[in-house]
Chains A and B, each alone.
Chain A
Amino acid sequence: MISFKLNGKPTQSNADQSEPLLHILANDLGVNGPKFGCGLAQCGSCTVLVNGDPLRSCVAPLSSVQGRSVTTISGLATQGKPSKLQQAFIHEQAAQCGYCTSGMIMQAQSLLDRNPKPTESEVKTALDGNLCRCGAHNRIVRAVMRAAQGV
């Protein structure tokens, strides 16, 4: 039995501890944010925060979150109200297909938590391991900068 916090709520899983965290979140716990993209930690679409740090949930085993706190995109909003970063993504329409969006937002959130006023180049560096195929990159950078500026 693995116990952890999921978006603030105490959560337990009886699943095989070697199963990827992504499967537990998506298939057992009904979490929609993190997505399977590669299973190789190469694209970032499965990114969640564990104790505030970004983690590729497609390769992390369930056992790695024992006693820790997992945050997904659903955990950013407060009572259905989008967080500043989510609001900035909506404002900038910073997506096309949106498959990478959840991973982008989680990766960007971890940057803003560490560095609330990043430069554009710091944002690009932080997101360099998250792949977007639609070409929404500039919008995504603008959204993160917008959230950082507290607009």
Chain B
Amino acid sequence: MTALQTSRRKFLKTSGALTLSFGIPLMDVHSQSAPASDKPRLAGDLQIHRKLNAWIRIDSATQTVELRIGKVELGQGILTAVAQVCADELDVDFSKVNIISGDTALVPDEGVTAGSFSMPYCATAVQAASAEVRAILLGLAEIKLSQAAAQMKVQNGLIRAGNGAQTSYWDLVIGESLNREATGLVKPKPLSEHRYIGRSVPRPDIQAKVMGDAIFVQEQRPQGMLFGQIVRPPSHGARLQSVNLSSIETMPGVVKVVRNGSFLGVIAKREAQAQAAAQALQNVCQWQVPNNLPKTQDMPTWLLQTKPDVVIPTKKQARANSSSANTPIARVVEAQYYRPYHMHASIGTSAGMACLGNDGVLTVQTHSQSVFQTGEAIAKMLGMPKEKVRMQHVQGSGCYGHNMADDAAADAALLAMQVPGQTVRLQYSREQEHAWEPYGSAMLMKTKASLDAQGNVLDWDFTLWSTPHGTRPSGQPGNLLSAAYLEKPFAMPKPVNGGGPNYAADRNAIALYDFPGHNVTTHFITEMPLRVSSTRGLGAYANIFAIESFIDELAHASGADPVEYRLRFMKDERARDAIVKAAEKFGWSQWRKTPGRGRGIGFAKYKNIAGYCAVALEVEVNRQNGRIRVLRAVASADCGHMVNPDGISNQIEGGLIQSLSWTLKEEVQMDNTRVLSRDWNSYPILTFSEIPPVEVVLIDRPGQPFLGTGEASQGPTGAALANAVFDATGVRFRTLPLTPDRVLQAL
């Protein structure tokens, strides 16, 4: 067979034959929902990047599959799960899949790696693309071997025809065969043929991290690399009054002192020299510092008294239209809940590395979640065309949302522009990360329910107040921290509250329970005393904390068991299943109360469209010192069809522990001028001696869509904890965190 340049017509003919040989009835082809355009609706992000070779290339020389994806590894194991899906659909060994991830010059732009979207959008696209590529490769083999594709078997890229003739992916002349759009006509494999999907394949990156291989941005060290440091003002609103740079420029190792408006940085030959110069520079700066911050304890009042930009009717459902329209109200219950500012609090401070090449291209190594959009923001900040900024994702410390990864990339870029041809790496100090990262917003929630004589909910009103949850770069330089301090500053664009189905401040504000009357109102405040942005779960953690605490209050007010009470109003079968499975594993019905101990449960379907998770846990409260000890925790998780069960378990238990830390300990402290939480002593997190054993019950749903997992357990955990503390003490805690001081005061 000569070199084959399969024409589009030829392909359609071939794939038509393949369609039949794969057993897809013609009806399936025609019954696809009629798309708005004449193009078929494709799976996940394949819909927006339709060319197969944007995703998959077959490398004959190395006999591997190159998989290019826009989603990036944040330490949650997503690359492993996506590679499993690809390996299964393409019939190659897992080790044959090489992933290129988050390089803006090479991969499809899949937006931000966030929101538990990587499995539904990226893995789903990869599954569909891999299935189509396999079909095309078999089509080529069909021609090469003159054998029917339907009788071919593939094992690790080796193709065996019905008559015993063989070829392989690596021997086929692929040419332009993958340079075409997906058709949406090739179905993924039947479940019975999965080798990797559903198996806990160990993460290759964990092995590398355990062995001390270079993995992180912080470990990149090209020859001749210079070290950067930034000098920040004392607080957000501060402006530089005066500074004398001359004494800094002559310090040992200093290559350049950079001043651009109120933005200050140094570049030096050694890291310690850069740090010493930055410290000295800090000491000679005079700042004008405003004193208009609300203090930590004043934030709840601030939220209620500040004029919201918009009041959103997130849900309006009048009881008048329900069958219980005329049921008399027996009683009304009200409550108010508060969640303070939280930090992402990554263990490694954010880092970035940049170099302006001779070709005028600025290359930036970053652990950003949004390489394309951050690259665009950096380009605009520097006044460069966006094609001249190449972003390459390299792993960083876990981020749990929009931390300072993007700021570090931008700062590295600002410094690198001053020393063309030389690479500058910078990593923030702990104080800089703690004081300047965009926090998870403080929120206040008011709930009100009317009940009938049996304690059933008639009307459910949920009202919330929040500052924004999304100030990601999004192609806008004003969202990069330093851009506001430049001589020609970029103002932060006014944040918006994302609407349904994902929502932002009002994420999970609509309870999944079926109530006759159900209203949700969102007060969205764009004024920001402290910089805020996406933190794991956005508004979901606080909203679920309030909803699941309040339904617990209603259960107790009605003399009902909290599990039974929830099930009364829950119609969603998978949700019921998650609640029941967690309760069973916990031993809810056999549990006996002992003094000082209590149990609690919480549930949510993340975003009401992603993973289901229920958490049940037991606590012991020490009445002498106010300390809460979590004795054990159980979580159930239904994340649709499981690709990597251990990966799901890792996310659920990790999210649960992080949420215990938020709920028990965490609150960003501030006075009227600045943030006071500037290290791990002033912003403590949970440590080993405080960690309970955690059991995870996984509920597999073979054949169902992949549902995001990474943020599923946060909300239910906070509520389960507060509910357990109520059970133990008889006191309802509605303001977080549940510190010993707060508990002691209430007891």
Contacts and interface: CB of A to CB of B under 8 A. Distances in A.
Nearest to A91: B202
B345 A72 contact: no
A149 B336 CA distance: 50
A58 to B, nearest CB: 10
Given A42-B680, A82-B211, A125-B689, A133 B206 contact: no
B348 interface: yes
B349 A99 contact: no
Contacts of A138: 653, 657, 691, 693-694
B658 A133 contact: yes
A20 interface: yes
Contact of A133 (B207, B211, B346, B395): B346
A96 B205 contact: no
B397 A99 contact: yes
Contact of B202 (A18, A77, A90, A136): A90
Contacts of B333: none
A82 to B, nearest CB: 6
Interface stretch (B215-223, B256-264, B282-290, B292-300): B215-223
B210 A95 contact: yes
Contact of B430 (A18, A38, A73, A127): A38
A37 B657 contact: no
**Interface size class for chain B?**
35 or more
Contacts of B215: 32, 98
Given A39-B429, A45-B347, A135-B656, A90 B207 contact: yes
A96 B75 contact: yes
Contacts of B526: none
A101 B215 CA distance: 12
A133 B685 contact: yes
Nearest to B201: A93
B655 A135 contact: yes
Interface in B176-226: 200, 202-203, 205-207, 209-216, 218-219, 221
B681 interface: yes
B654 A134 contact: yes
B349 A136 contact: no
A128 B688 CA distance: 5
Given A42-B681, A135-B658, A89 B272 contact: no
A26 interface: yes
B202 A141 contact: no
Given A26-B219, A42-B680, A136-B654, A96 B685 contact: no
A95 to B, nearest CB: 5
A35 B656 contact: no
Contact of A105 (B205, B210, B271, B651): B210
Contact of B691 (A35, A90, A133, A137): A137
Interface string B418-431: 00000000010110
Given A99-B216, A99-B397, A124-B691, A135 B654 contact: yes
A102 B658 contact: no
Contacts of B430: 37-40, 42
Given A73-B212, A137-B691, A93 B206 contact: yes
Nearest to B680: A42
A43 interface: yes
Given A35-B397, A101-B210, A138-B694, 14 more contacts: A18-B272, A19-B270, A31-B212, A33-B212, A35-B219, A42-B681, A89-B210, A93-B203, A97-B397, A99-B347, A101-B206, A125-B689, A132-B347, A133-B345
28 contacts: A16-B272, A18-B272, A23-B272, A38-B430, A38-B680, A39-B430, A82-B207, A82-B211, A90-B202, A90-B210, A93-B646, A93-B650, A95-B209, A96-B75, A97-B76, A97-B398, A98-B75, A101-B210, A102-B209, A102-B212, A105-B210, A123-B688, A127-B688, A130-B688, A131-B347, A133-B685, A135-B654, A138-B694
Interface of B: 74-77, 200, 202-203, 205-207, 209-216, 218-219, 221, 227, 270-272, 345-349, 395-398, 400, 427, 429-430, 646, 650-651, 653-658, 661, 679-681, 685, 687-689, 691, 693-694
Rank and list the top 7 A-B pairs by shortest CB-CB distance, nearest first.
A97-B75, A135-B657, A135-B654, A97-B398, A98-B209, A99-B397, A38-B430
